[in-house]
Structure 1
């Protein structure tokens, strides 16, 4: 539930420069992807609304530009996953899968605010998810089911409004090797976030321990680009029902999961693509006098 946005002419220019800079990327092969190696990412799913075919086309074009260890394009490893559409959402939600409410205290656990305390009042303050948040959460959950049932060790999950940063292949390969070195045998983890915004931390001021990946030490927003293991998918399903926006709920499960973040995001959300999401927390924070970035 990242509410950060780029506004103003200078920021729009900055975004266009960053977005098109990826075209200068020399390395177009990532050894972290492979068709058959068990220590690699063997599948890519892009969550895409049926009424947004252009987004799937844009994601496909990005994937065709990068080769895997098997010398085939990442597009060959990719599959389109039909997203649940908020426009046609059935009001009857399976309570075993998702509770469409969360509390203000849940929000504050991920993004603390000095003006609001986590107390009995915030724990009792229920917030209803928007239809868009419900649809996004259910889409991710359905994909977790698919990943848990398949015999594929690691899968990259993408939302359809992302792009790869310059250096994506090299940076992912270096991070993947770092995780292998950090992991006990056999090599395994639950989630590796490649796209995220750490709460209260600007990218240029991000400082972490040695290495190319780290454990989350604060809240993060976004679930638009992450690697999920088969083991991790089953763990998430065992923790259901989820409650609240999917990125918020994932944060609240970190202490039960083996989670890594790459030190610098290598997948970003496009700001030139109109968002189809709607945030339930925004009017709540406005009502209690907390300003939010827009």
Structure 2
């Protein structure tokens, strides 16, 4: 998705978890329909929340000359693994929107944030158990001092069991950034790679940063040595996925993708 409004939602610890965290909801300014959908969905799952609006990025407003002047470019030789094409402007805008959230986390020193895209749907079949499942997963994630926790994703490879994990797994190669939790340290790792000068789609970048992206050469752990923990994300996923996009191609109904329905980027 491409987004141009970010909403930061904070709720008290007693409403959802003993661990307090914020929620950032990202949504295009011109997509009032998705703003209404996502606010409704979040209020359904996290009632009585306070919503704060932030500005983000819209692909229709991207000026490629200005991007180049800011040294924002695509990774040399990058090609979409399925469509065999370079980056689209929508993918650039999507990445920059998430990047803005990461930098906001760093600036505000937010310890833990749930980042949500504007087509999110929390699984209605698990509604009665949602808070219990979320509490268990988040508590285990914090106890393990992780960096990133997927609540929803499209698994493209087998997950990896982690010792002592009851409610979490180590994710294999995965797509989607529809709902994930990020710590302050995780945000710092994501912005400390000079990625803006060599962009790839955000849902390729995140698995690259936890060393589970087969499209790219794996990180050389021997070369990284003791710095591996400073560079790579310690990523987890809830064992039972709690969120996903509100629409998928198998649903059959027409769907307008702001990310895909955009021109190729000349970066």
**1:40 alignment counterpart:** 20
Which blocks of at least 5 consecutive residues in structure 2 are unaligned? 2-14, 212-231, 248-252, 263-267
Cα 1:97–1:267 change in 2 (3 A) is farther
Q: Does the aligned pair in 1 maintain the 2:80–2:87 contact within 8 Å?
A: no
Q: Secondary structure at the match of 2:26?
A: strand
Matching of residue 64 in structure 1 with residue 38 in structure 2? no
**1:100 alignment counterpart:** 74
Query: Which structure is larger by alpha-carbon Rg, 1 or 2?
Result: 1
Q: Provide TM-score, normalisation by structure 1.
A: 0.64
Alignment length (residue pairs): 214
Q: CA deviation at 1:127?
A: 4.6
Q: Which moved more, 1:263-272 or 1:134-143?
A: 263-272
Q: Which runs of 4+ in 1 moved over 6 A?
A: none
Q: Secondary structure at the match of 1:158?
A: strand
Matching of residue 248 in structure 1 with residue 204 in structure 2? yes
Q: Does the aligned pair in 2 maintain the 1:47–1:80 contact within 8 Å?
A: no
Q: Provide TM-score, normalisation by structure 2.
A: 0.70
Matching of residue 212 in structure 1 with residue 174 in structure 2? no
- Cα distance between partner residues in 1 of 2:256 and 2:240: 25
Q: Secondary structure at the match of 1:189?
A: coil
- Cα distance between partner residues in 2 of 1:267 and 1:85: 24
**2:220 alignment counterpart:** none
- Cα distance between partner residues in 2 of 1:224 and 1:95: 30
Q: Deviations over 1:82-107 (max 9, x none)?
A: 33111121103258774324646x86
Q: Does the aligned pair in 2 maintain the 1:98–1:240 contact within 8 Å?
A: no
* Root-mean-square deviation (Å): 3.0
- Cα distance between partner residues in 1 of 2:24 and 2:16: 17
Matching of residue 86 in structure 1 with residue 59 in structure 2? yes
**2:107 alignment counterpart:** 149
Q: CA deviation at 1:66?
A: 3.6
The 5 Å alignment of 1:262-281 reads 262-271=238-247, 274-278=256-260
Matching of residue 222 in structure 1 with residue 222 in structure 2? no
Match 1:177 to one of 139, 142, 161: 139
- Cα distance between partner residues in 2 of 1:94 and 1:168: 44
Q: CA deviation at 1:193?
A: 0.8
- Cα distance between partner residues in 2 of 1:228 and 1:145: 12
